[in-house]
Amino acid sequence: MPSYKPPMKDIEFLLKDVLHAAERTKDIPAYATADWEMTKMMLDAISDYAVKTALPLNKSGDAEGCTYNKENGSVKAPKGFKEAYDLYRSLGVIGLEGSLKYNGQEMPHYLGVGAKEIITASNFSLAMYGGLTAGAAKVLEHFASDEIKNLYLPKMYSGDWTGTMCLTEPNSGSDLSGVSTSALPQADGSFKVSGNKIFISCGEHDLSDNICHLVLARLPDAPAGTKGITLFLVPKLSPQTNETNGVKCTNIEHKMGINGSSTCAISFENSKGVMIGKPNEGLKAMFTMMNDARLNVGIQGLSLSEIAYQNAAEYAGVRVQGKLLKDAFNEQAKATAIINHANIRKDLVEMKAQIEGFRALAYDASIALDIAEKHPDADARKNADDYTSLLTPVLKSCLTDLSCTIAQKGIQIHGGMGYCRDMGVEQYYRDSLIGTIYEGTNDIQSIDFTFRKALKPKKSGAGAAKKPSDKPKGSPIPTKGLAGMFAKTSLGRMMIERKIRKAVDPTKPGTMLSTFAIPLAEEIKAAAKNPALREYALLLQDSMDSFTCAVGTLALQGMTGKADETLINARDFMDLFSKVAVGRMWLKMMTAAEAKMAADPGAKDFCENKMQLGDVYMKRIMMPEVKRLEMRINAGSGSIGKFSNDDLTP
């Protein structure tokens, strides 16, 4: 059976020495006592649960899966899940970040991220039930009436009731403008909700007493498209009478992974629901849960990456095969563990460097989320909110992509044994693939990052783009009169290009990118003064320069009538940013490691390991990948647009 050791030393180093979590959140009254000792105590208890209870059920739960009863629409979770879930909720994990007023513990998001990483690594499917409930409860905290909060939240934070998010319909996937589920007003202020939803994670099961569905639906007079969607809370059972409420599971999906988590088709037939938020503003409320879910999906990718790496490294240490290359012609030499072969060691080191770098980025985002939600200073909240908004699609996409890559490499290191289910490691690859698809595919995330975050110029102020009357709508290029003639000259094109690049300059205050670029510039400047870090500061500056050029290139493509080129390059653009963002985290970790090593000689080995991993990331991963991605972006669309549909159809 696969093993797992929660990476507590790495988490402690991040929260205490690198990211200074308690210091950055000390001005938030609710978190005044959230020091490392308290954090460690809670994570230790969660680690004990993860290793002793959740992990042993991961493989068996995958093999058994969930059982659907067609006669009554009920779903039974795999053997042992009910007892494990009861213990899970007794730890208070579901309400960890919830308000004290509603039976939550009101702990920082960074503690919640630690808990999610550890539990998800041990049993992804089991963690889904509580994770979705916490997300649904967060929506109710933000948008529901006091009456609804008082009725539902204590039960949800305790885990007695679970929650779901019901968006997708048979003919409406990621494009929610096609949602057709209806909601008819009733005399008592409630609504009768009718329609069908598919791909509803944990939509039916036997782990909790009730299931609370957040459902997107349309009122009778709703406008077409996404502007006509309203959010409703529809429980499986009436909270007052415990009677059935016209909610039925009509099927469960037979998936390639996360088999212990039920993914359901749900039918609502005149089901009584209550409106959450305002009419026709359902997406605004639902995006609270969706953004929370996207960050959580990123943590799922981190979790699967970590456990896949751990088992690959452990197997490589005991699997004896082949002599060292230097002993190839020495008949007396013995075979060695494959971890000693340079190519295997290279894979493991690069896997570890990426996992630790992305972990730092995810935890940094979680601290910023705490500040964005609860810091007393409005400017601090706005800056932190922009930063987390920028990172959300990056973490969701790049961490789930990473989990697929590392799970695949883990199988490769296991060789033929990894391809067999008996070893249990092929499950990580199957489980990881869903992360690249749900909560908006990774391509959709790259579009969000590129068009709504990175390339969004300031609305006003110096450097903002203007629209003279001689320009076509949406274009910065004049077409009429003397200005239009000048625009066709090489000097005119150069000046227009310069203006466009300036409009999306990452270091310009007030843009989302500035929340990343401005502090990064200061960090590079400080590190460059340290002889031990100067080389890495310069490498990071070079990479940031490449990203800045890519920002200008994509903006130029989009604003000069070549939007398809921007769309084609969106995924590469986001990946390029992720390499720089993780590089920034490694510069932070290397800075902290050097300081810690000087202050504590006993930490020398640990800190030297961090310095070496940072060196590998900067030189072997960040720089080569940044240059590769920059070249692809500069190539534009090439001949891609010349292919017709017929050319691509078999």
Whether residue 467 is predicted with pLDDT greater than 60 in this model: the reply is no
pLDDT digits (tens, 9 = 90+) for 184-199: 999 999 999 999 999 9
pLDDT of residue 291: 80
pLDDT over 90, % of the chain: 81
pLDDT of residue 638: 83
Alpha-carbon gap, residue 251 to 481, rounded angstroms: 64
pLDDT digits (tens, 9 = 90+) for 573-609: 999 999 999 999 999 999 999 999 999 999 999 999 9
Q: Once rounded to an integer, what is the mean pLDDT over residues 640-648?
A: 90
pLDDT digits (tens, 9 = 90+) for 111-159: 999 999 999 999 999 999 999 999 999 999 999 999 999 999 999 999 9
More confident position, 365 or 326: 365
Alpha-carbon gap, residue 297 to 289, rounded angstroms: 12
Sketch the domain layout of the chain as residue ranges: 287-454, 504-638
Give the angle subtended at the CA of 211 by the CAs of 258 and 154, to the nearest 5°: 115
Whether residue 462 is predicted with pLDDT greater than 50 in this model: the reply is no
Whether residue 561 is predicted with pLDDT greater than 90 in this model: the reply is no
Alpha-carbon gap, residue 253 to 266, rounded angstroms: 11
pLDDT digits (tens, 9 = 90+) for 495-504: 666 666 666 7
- Average pLDDT of the chain, as a whole number: 92
Out of 97, 204, 439, 630, pick the active-site residue: 439
Clarify whether 306 is annotated catalytic. Answer: no
Strand duo 67-69 + 74-76: pairing: antiparallel
For the chain, the distance separating the N- and C-terminal CA atoms, rounded to the nearest angstrom, is 44
Tell me if 607 sits within 8 A of 546, measured CB to CB. Answer: no
Helical (H) or strand (E) element with 166: strand 161-166
Whether residue 323 is predicted with pLDDT greater than 60 in this model: the reply is yes
pLDDT of residue 293: 85
More confident position, 467 or 576: 576
Q: Once rounded to an integer, what is the mean pLDDT over residues 288-296?
A: 83
The CATH number of the structural domain formed by 287-454 is 1.20.140.10
Alpha-carbon gap, residue 20 to 110, rounded angstroms: 11
Taking alpha carbons only, the member of 2, 3, 1, 21 closest to residue 11 is: 21
Q: Once rounded to an integer, what is the mean pLDDT over residues 296-306?
A: 97
Strand duo 210-217 + 161-166: pairing: parallel
The model's confidence at residue 466, banded by pLDDT at 50, 70 and 90, is very low
Q: Which two tokens stand for residue 281?
A: 């503003």
The model's confidence at residue 473, banded by pLDDT at 50, 70 and 90, is low
